[in-house]
């Protein structure tokens, strides 16, 4: 008899597995549908809906179906049981129910006002997955891929501007949104539109910081397809990548800002502690991420006597690369830092150093692996966003608040881009033109990070309202702004695309002109950039990779014994004293050219003449292998040829 009972309970357990399978199947189905739709769109050169927008749309429809087609089943789950013996919630709870012990695992704390939301539909509950999944599973590959596929040359050339937008811009955006929302909230409370919740200035700042994370994935995909001006692309891409990191750390710092007495009064000590927290977490995460990448570079670079190098075993190499990069994330999390930030800088450093040491097989494997993980994770998140609009059970729609948020986000973006561009143009040789500024203003889409930050804490009512609002802003920006990108590009007369033949010619021209250009390039590059590049080229690259001059040439003479120890026999023999930057740039590009010509398949539509150039672009920007299309937009003639350099 007891045996029989056990089998029944075994079946119950199986039931649990099966339900998990059904939920995953729903997601799989949505993703398959998304892929098929994208295929359809690609065929019709339909550019208004990016795959992420499509995923969101399908998620929305599926959410609607789940919401209204399934009925409440698990009535008992809304009941709260009393347990006076306990003082705090243990991580595991053993409960004796009718003489059978069950193990329960701690999930979360619930505010009293949310208990009602738990009554009802079990399916909805199942489809709402743990916010930590976003931060621990879905975001890391996306962010790593962003760092790993960074266009190094243009990124470093625009480093100063990117850093300004990312740090100063995000801070401005956060404060402006915070102030505007605080005004709105006060006004709403005044006219009685807001219930008497505690809505402090820090809450508004929290909202400001999470809404400051831009995610122009749709815009960037279109930019890539249309081959929009590379400087604009880099500015936007660099800003969005770094700004995610800044926004995440900023949100964290604000959430642990706790003034001692009156939460509305300004507490200087607490404020400076928050600033200190921000700097410490950011710097710590940066150090954690890049040091793991440096370790990877060193291991993949090692050449001990009697040892075949690791690059002889591509699978081990790829495995190590993957595990060490993931460890950067986990170590940062374990140390109380921000894993996402660590993994971003890990990606950048891996691309800069380790990538050069990898075997050509591993280069391809790692690129493709992270490209694929990025593709899947991105679509899952956008799918889930669509779902969440209907399956999340504690939405608070407040039209006035939402209206205020839209205004605030718009104004904050303007306060970020235009003043900073003005300031940057004072220092830049190559100015950021007005149409670029408008385009950057327009490309302030919100996406995965804003959503993930908002869903992380939805306990209190203000936070629920913020979540709902953030979700709607994501929907609006992805569909409306994302869909209008092509039109906006035409309207602003941003230079798009180059004829493949022209591209090749420009390539050749550049080759011959590189000596003449050298001084110009140097003048354009910022002081910071030159400092860094010199140091990097002279010391870091020789230590961590095969490129650059031998250390014996760059280090002072008294360091020679150490230098000889660290110098690879394969290190290049040349000792260019001048034009280092150009040397590196050419060197990098040669590597990539070599690599891409070895294994990147070229889509059939391309004319054979442009093969090389296209393949290089492909591996560079993580095109997701979606192929290339003929350009539909005309570009205004007479712009400097320079902008077309890849």
Interaction residues for a second copy, span 115-134 (CB under 8 A): 115, 118, 122, 125, 132
The tokens of 539 are what? 């010391």
Q: Give the other-Cβ count within 10 Å of 73's Cβ.
A: 11
For a second copy, which residue of 68, 69, 71, 97 counts as binding (CB under 8 A)? 97
74 near a second copy, judged by CB under 8 A: yes
586 near a second copy, judged by CB under 8 A: no
265 near a second copy, judged by CB under 8 A: no
For a second copy, which residue of 128, 291, 587, 603 counts as binding (CB under 8 A)? 603
Angstrom distance (rounded) from CA 564 to CA 551: 7
577 near a second copy, judged by CB under 8 A: no
Short-list 26, 47, 28, CA closest to 38: 47
98 near a second copy, judged by CB under 8 A: yes
Angstrom distance (rounded) from CA 178 to CA 412: 9
Short-list 612, 618, 592, CA closest to 501: 612
101 near a second copy, judged by CB under 8 A: yes
User: Least distance from C-beta 288 to a second copy, angstroms?
Assistant: 12
User: Least distance from C-beta 113 to a second copy, angstroms?
Assistant: 10
Q: State which of positions 298-317 bind a second copy (CB under 8 A).
A: 299, 306-308, 310, 312-316
User: Least distance from C-beta 262 to a second copy, angstroms?
Assistant: 11
- Residues near a second copy (CB under 8 A), total: 123
Short-list 302, 290, 286, 276, CA closest to 341: 286
Q: Which is nearer to a second copy, 524 or 606 (CB)?
A: 606
The tokens of 356 are what? 């050069």
Burial of 145 (0-12, 13-18, 19+ CB in 10 A): buried
For a second copy, which residue of 48, 167, 197, 322 counts as binding (CB under 8 A)? 322
Q: State which of positions 170-199 bind a second copy (CB under 8 A).
A: 198
324 near a second copy, judged by CB under 8 A: yes
User: Least distance from C-beta 646 to a second copy, angstroms?
Assistant: 21
User: Per residue in 479-492, is it b (16+ CB within 10 Å) or e — as a string?
Assistant: bebbbebbebbeee
Helices 170-190 and 399-427: crossing angle, nearest 10°? Answer: 150
Q: State which of positions 343-362 bind a second copy (CB under 8 A).
A: 359-361
Angstrom distance (rounded) from CA 354 to CA 337: 24
User: Least distance from C-beta 303 to a second copy, angstroms?
Assistant: 12
Rg (CA), the chain: 27
Short-list 283, 203, 278, CA closest to 247: 278
Distant-in-sequence, close-in-space partners of 58: CB < 8 Å, separation ≥ 6: 30, 33, 34, 37, 383, 386
For a second copy, which residue of 71, 82, 268, 523 counts as binding (CB under 8 A)? 82
User: Least distance from C-beta 135 to a second copy, angstroms?
Assistant: 8
256 near a second copy, judged by CB under 8 A: yes
72 near a second copy, judged by CB under 8 A: no
135 near a second copy, judged by CB under 8 A: yes
22 near a second copy, judged by CB under 8 A: yes
266 near a second copy, judged by CB under 8 A: no
Write phi, then psi, for 188 (nearest 5 degrees). -65, -40
Q: State which of positions 433-472 bind a second copy (CB under 8 A).
A: 457, 459-460
User: Per residue in 26-41, is it b (16+ CB within 10 Å) or e — as a string?
Assistant: bbeebbebbeebbeeb
Residue range at the interface with a second copy (CB under 8 A); choices 109-117, 271-279, 490-498, 584-592? 109-117
């Amino acid at each position: 008899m007891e045996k029989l009972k056990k089998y029944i309970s075994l079946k119950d357990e199986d039931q649990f597995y099966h339900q998990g399978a059904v939920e995953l199947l729903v997601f799989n189905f949505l993703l398959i549908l998304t892929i098929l739709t994208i295929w359809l769109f690609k065929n019709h050169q339909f550019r208004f809906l990016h795959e992420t927008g499509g995923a969101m749309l399908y998620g929305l429809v599926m959410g609607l179906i789940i919401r209204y087609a399934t009925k409440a089943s698990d009535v008992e789950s809304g009941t709260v049981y009393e347990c006076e013996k306990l003082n705090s919630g243990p991580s595991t709870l053993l409960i004796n129910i009718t003489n059978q012990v069950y193990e329960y695992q701690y999930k979360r704390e619930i505010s009293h006002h949310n208990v009602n939301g738990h009554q009802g539909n079990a399916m909805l509950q199942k489809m709402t997955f743990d916010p930590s999944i976003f931060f621990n599973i879905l975001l890391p590959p996306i962010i790593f891929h962003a760092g790993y596929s960074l266009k190094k040359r243009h990124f470093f050339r625009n480093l100063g501007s990117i850093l300004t937008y990312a740090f100063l811009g995000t801070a401005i955006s956060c404060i402006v949104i915070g102030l505007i929302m605080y005004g709105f909230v006060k006004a709403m409370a005044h006219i009685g539109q807001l219930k008497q919740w505690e809505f402090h200035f820090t809450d508004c700042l929290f909202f400001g910081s999470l809404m400051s994370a831009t995610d122009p994935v749709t815009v960037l995909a279109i930019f890539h397809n249309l081959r929009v001006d590379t400087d604009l692309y880099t500015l936007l891409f660099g800003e969005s990548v770094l700004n995610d990191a800044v926004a995440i750390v900023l949100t964290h710092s604000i959430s642990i800002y706790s003034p001692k007495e009156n939460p509305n009064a300004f507490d200087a000590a607490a404020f400076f502690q928050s600033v200190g927290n921000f700097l410490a977490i950011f710097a710590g995460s940066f150090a954690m991420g890049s040091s793991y990448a440096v370790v990877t570079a060193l291991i993949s670079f090692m050449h001990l006597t009697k040892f075949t190098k690791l690059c002889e075993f591509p699978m081990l190499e790829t495995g190590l690369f993957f595990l060490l990069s993931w460890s950067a994330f986990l170590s940062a999390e374990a140390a109380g830092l921000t894993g996402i930030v660590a993994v971003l800088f890990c990606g950048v450093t891996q691309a800069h150093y380790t990538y050069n040491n990898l075997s050509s097989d591993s280069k391809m494997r790692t690129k493709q692996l992270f490209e694929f993980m990025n593709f899947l994770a991105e679509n899952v998140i956008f799918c889930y966003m669509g779902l969440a609009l209907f399956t999340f059970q504690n939405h608070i729609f407040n039209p006035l608040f939402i209206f205020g948020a839209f205004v605030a986000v718009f104004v904050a973006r303007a306060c970020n881009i235009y003043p900073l561009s003005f300031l940057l143009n004072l220092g830049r040789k190559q100015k950021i033109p007005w149409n670029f500024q408008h385009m950057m203003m327009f490309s302030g889409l919100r996406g995965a990070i804003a959503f993930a930050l908002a869903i992380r804490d939805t306990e209190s009512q203000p936070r629920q309202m913020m979540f709902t609002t953030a979700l709607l802003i994501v929907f609006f920006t992805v569909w409306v702004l994302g869909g209008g990108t092509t039109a906006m590009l035409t309207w602003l007369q941003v230079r798009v695309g180059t004829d493949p033949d022209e591209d090749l010619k420009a390539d050749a021209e550049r080759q011959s002109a590189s000596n003449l250009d050298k001084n110009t390039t140097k003048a354009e590059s910022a002081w910071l950039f030159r400092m860094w590049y010199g140091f990097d080229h002279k010391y870091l690259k020789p230590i961590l990779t095969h490129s650059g001059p031998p250390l014996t040439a760059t280090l002072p003479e008294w360091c020679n014994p150490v230098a000889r120890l660290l110098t690879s026999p394969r290190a290049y023999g040349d000792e260019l004293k001048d034009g280092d930057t150009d040397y590196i740039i050419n060197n990098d590009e040669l590597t990539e050219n070599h690599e891409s010509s070895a294994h990147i398949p070229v889509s059939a539509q391309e004319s054979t003449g442009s093969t090389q150039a296209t393949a290089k672009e492909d591996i560079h920007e993580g095109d997701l292998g979606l192929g290339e299309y003929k350009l539909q937009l005309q570009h205004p003639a007479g712009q400097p040829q320079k902008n077309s350099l890849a």
